[in-house]
Amino acid sequence: MAVASEHTATTLAKFHAPEIVFGIGSLVEAAHAAVRLGAVRPLLVTDPGLIEAGWADELRGHLVEQGLTPIVWGDLTPNPKDHEVTAGHETYRAHGCDVLVALGGGSVIDAAKGIAVLAANGGSILDYEGVDRAAAPIPPMVVVPSTSGTGADVSQFCVVTDTVRGTKITIIGRSLVPDLTVIDPRLLTTMPDDLNAATGLDALTHGVEAFVSRAHNPLTDHHALRAVGLVTDTLVRTIEDPQEMAARSIMAQASLEAGLAFTNAILGAAHAMSHQVGGLLDLPHGVINGVLLPHVIRFNAASDPEPFVAIAAALGLEEHRGPAVEAALAVADRVERLAREVGVPRGLRELGVQATDLERLAAGALRDACMSTNPREATHEQMVALFRAAL
């Protein structure tokens, strides 16, 4: 992998990560962690699907066994809304909670982060859009991811839907990295196939965008490349055989490594664009990424294809031995093929995006924090064209 060693950063590198517990049957460790963090009355944030699957009851039981009095709150929908974060915070305050325990996918974990921000800083969650806007330290947080892709369990990101503007806001801050993440691959077996596909493509997008990001560094590159290869080799297997624990464990690791990469290297245009579409139409984030990523790869490679050579090698593509532009285009084609294999639509139009939406979507994407680390700058006209190509 000599090519990867050339893709290095010369500036100061920082690497943020929570304490990580990984393994089949590790769910009980979340309760032990809550005790270590001083919990007495933790707020267990989850969603109806996790409650129905029985995972919330299992974790609640572990918390009770440790002498705690957990308050379970699961009044959430996918893509957490600003008013849902407000409602969760009101529950947190009404019951005198002290530690947050999040059990769920990215939506649940982002909601828990939003509740934590409000618990310490007050106001509206929309007040904290941007970087390091929440000044006061937030309550301790333990997270247990139930999907394999969002990386929210290790990231310094919190994404919330602004229901008035019809867009997603991104809140970034070192304090949003959870204190501990407990990754138990058992939880992945109850994901619906569409959610499994969506979150897997999200992890793939994290790996690709982190590797080519302006803010990448040698500490993130390894994790990014590992994630890209693991997702591409394994995602289809988890759909074909949902109970195969070996494949589930690999996808859990892929999600973790992609999360560690992107929380430190940040992301790029695919996520900046996806946030706008998701906020407009309340659609699964990973599905939108699966549609957009090949187009963004081609757009970025037109400026500098070299970083994609290492990605092509990580994917086992023969084109990595040839010209860099051919390697980059082969990566885009491989991503597109994987998206088709797991059932993602061919274009944004199938998801409900109209040509009349493109100007608004482009303007929002250019304001998104993720655009600041995309390797190629884009004008408004180029962003409109990129959205149009993805239609």
CATH number, domain containing residue 76 = 3.40.50.1970
CA distances from 102 to 44, 106, 153 (A): 6, 10, 9
Q: Which two tokens stand for residue 257?
A: 């490594």
Position 380 in a domain: yes
Tens digit of each residue's pLDDT (9 = 90 or more) over 322-349:
999 999 999 999 999 999 999 999 999 9
Looking at the structure of the chain, the number of domains it has is: 2
Position 260 in a domain: yes
Position 113 in a domain: yes
Strands (E), the chain: 19-22, 43-45, 71-73, 100-104, 130-131, 141-145, 157-162, 167-172, 180-183
SS3 388: helix
Q: Is residue 298 within 8 Å of residue 329, measured between CB atoms?
A: yes
Residue 12, pLDDT score: 77
Nearest to 259 by CA among 202, 316, 308, 324: 202
Mean model confidence pLDDT for the chain: 95
The stretch 18-40 carries a mean pLDDT of 98
CB atoms within 10 A of CB 189: 15
3-state secondary structure 239-295: HHCCCCHHHHHHHHHHHHHHHHHHHHHCCCHHHHHHHHHHHHHCCCHHHHHHHHHHH
Q: Let me know whether 259 and 218 are in one domain.
A: yes
Q: Let me know whether 178 and 194 are in one domain.
A: no
Position 18 in a domain: no
> Which of 183, 199, 230 is the endpoint of a domain?
183
Question: Could you tell me the residue range of the domain that residue 57 belongs to?
Answer: 26-183
Q: Is residue 326 within 8 Å of residue 291, measured between CB atoms?
A: no
> Which of 131, 163, 183 is the endpoint of a domain?
183
Residue 13, pLDDT score: 80
Position 109 in a domain: yes
Task: Give dist(CA 339, CA 290) in Å, integer.
Answer: 6
Place of tokens 């089949």: 24
Q: Let me know whether 199 and 169 are in one domain.
A: no
Q: Let me know whether 161 and 92 are in one domain.
A: yes
Confidence class for position 1, pLDDT limits 50, 70, 90: very low
Bridge partners (DSSP) listed for residue 103: 144
**What size, in residues, is the chain?**
391
Q: Let me know whether 160 and 196 are in one domain.
A: no
Residue 355 has pLDDT above 50, yes or no: yes
Tens digit of each residue's pLDDT (9 = 90 or more) over 97-148:
999 999 999 999 999 999 999 999 999 999 999 999 999 999 999 999 999 9
Position 2 in a domain: no
Q: Let me know whether 199 and 163 are in one domain.
A: no
Position 1 in a domain: no
| DSSP track, 155-172 | -SEEEEEETTTTEEEEEE
Position 368 in a domain: yes
CATH of the domain at 269: 1.20.1090.10
Q: Let me know whether 134 and 278 are in one domain.
A: no
Q: Let me know whether 340 and 230 are in one domain.
A: yes
